[in-house]
Structure 1
């Protein structure tokens, strides 16, 4: 009886405590232990059993938005959950007499592994130990991760991380040592990563690509094709070859140049395996080309030194680059990176269109020239010549000079006299040269005349034209005389010809009259005819005089 009484009293006390607890104000959240993916959003509901709520909300450093509310609850949407240690707190104010403690919400922010990768498994020699490496990139929380190695569908090794306390995402590397057996040849091996967020979340799994285990033999040495010289920042093809291997298609090549790994292309013909790669270097000097070929545990290497040469990085300067006629200009040639240059002996030249101005066997050097009008636009060149393995090598750079000078004219550009035919089409041409190019203007009787425009020639075009050319350095002037020739005879000439003809006609008339008077007018004796007619004789001798015997 005493024992039963004790049980009843304990039950009553527990019931009273439970009722009192139910009547105590509290704050809760749903979901209680939310699981959310990094960078996504979540709706969180804060609630209370308080009857007289003055205020309530959610304290968080995340972006939030009200999603609704009721008499005893408020809902919020949290955006871009990207804080690994985020712990929002729900709170409510039920008055001064009620002590309402905020409710802290424990978040689990996760990130599914981006990549699960098994490091390349080398060709194994039977009886030797090899380390398998599995890499799981950028996932969280690591305490919920497990990584397993599988071979032929069987689990070799399982690793968990329950004691990992950090919440943020990071990479995980898991290794496992295996001993190679002859029976392993051809079996598939892989690693699997599992992120278990249950019961609140899901189970995520991801596996690496399968790799096949192999065992082989390798009894030969690799051979490198000779490569003695190479210019900096150029590319050359190198070849590494092995013969007599089995199986040749399983030979693994690695080539490095100046301690940098090269990308290879491998071909196999029979028992010959060959790897090719492109090599280049931006640093002059002697660099090591190395080829390593592996089959299982056997590794063989071939090395060769390659001389990388660098010709000067030429720079040509003109000081000044813009100047005037009869001024001195310094032409300088130098190496932009003398500290990086390693080259065989060379000869350097500064030249222009007239020929070589200066030659040296080292840099820098310079030469001075005095400018003329012909130097405007002149190209100066710095050139380096050398020889590598009997092959001529040349590098050069150029720069142009600008020379300013005043306008110039001559009879070729602006003739002093022009002869045009009337009724033909002619264009008045007058030009000048200078730098800057001058402006040319021609005027007749102080009126501008169009230059270069064909026009029908009339007598009005005849006369003198004042032409001038100018730029900001000065001006020159020239007189151009235009003569217009006409095919029609001049009026004065016609009048003179008519007067001359009239004078000639008058003179001829007077002469004829005088001649007639002196020779045709006077007495004539006609022979007498027998039995002549007196009247006829009278008519022949005239009516005034009659012959007398």
Structure 2
């Protein structure tokens, strides 16, 4: 649309000439030499608040100046080149747009409206009833609500002292900030709290602060329990005294044996043996505070120095292996400090590896001396290794077959002799029966028949 009153001669030219002239004209020549201004009373408003927006221009013949927004608006005034609107119940961030026409050309101008909210809840969670001195105290601050989030910070306080500051960025409805603080003796009856800082100074407003109700901390000095060994690293057979103690009013219990009275140490003595190496001793300390019993534990480990010992159950004294086969010599030795274990052939000094597969040869046959050594002494064990030739099995089989054949032959011969002897005994029995009486027998003749 060509603005009225703008270069009348141009309108009588051809369309191509009009297009060329219009393209070559500066923007102001097309009606934009008079911008539309948008003035906001305050672009940052509290949630639910209201603000005044004014749209204005220096155009001599403006038309249709209005405000476009999703917020609830109401015109509050207008005049030549201006119009004012009241926005109410602003609950969310939004954008407003002023628009109008100057000599038939549309003018626009926009601005962002930011809504801020104070946190709905700022709370420091309860502190321990009693806090031991020298241990970390965990401060936990919960903040619900608050906007804009990128301008909101959570501050942990000891009295008026700022302990830490953390941004409450993000969009969750609730944020929790956790800060560990080492409790000291000076913290007894100190007040702790947390505060939110909504910093809107960059937007032309001020710093808004909300602070939680303070919580008072009570601390107590709970020394120990302190658990000591008279000899932390004792040679075998040494007398070791184990002692546990704590501060006044504290009852200690060592290995199940309570001290004589609160504030008194508990102790006992033992003669260190190999079985006590790496033994852990425990001590428990208890203190009653306002009807509540508090507990703390401590532990210490005893190291006993003892000489090397080769475990006979894990180191066989006689071994039978075959030539050119892989085998492992399994031997273990214990001791503190850990001993070094080596096995040498007594005749040649040949060393065989321990715990590692190796190829056995015939010359490995013999007696070996296995020796474990450390700074606490030595221990020796004898191992006999018998290596057989791999062909000995065939010889053994042949000899076995020959022995079996021999046994079969002997058995067969014995059976034959026994059989001959048995037949001879039957013959003599028949001869012995000849003494029985003998009778003659005549042919019988039938009665009534003549012989012929």
TM-score for the superposition, normalised by structure 1: 0.36
TM-score for the superposition, normalised by structure 2: 0.43
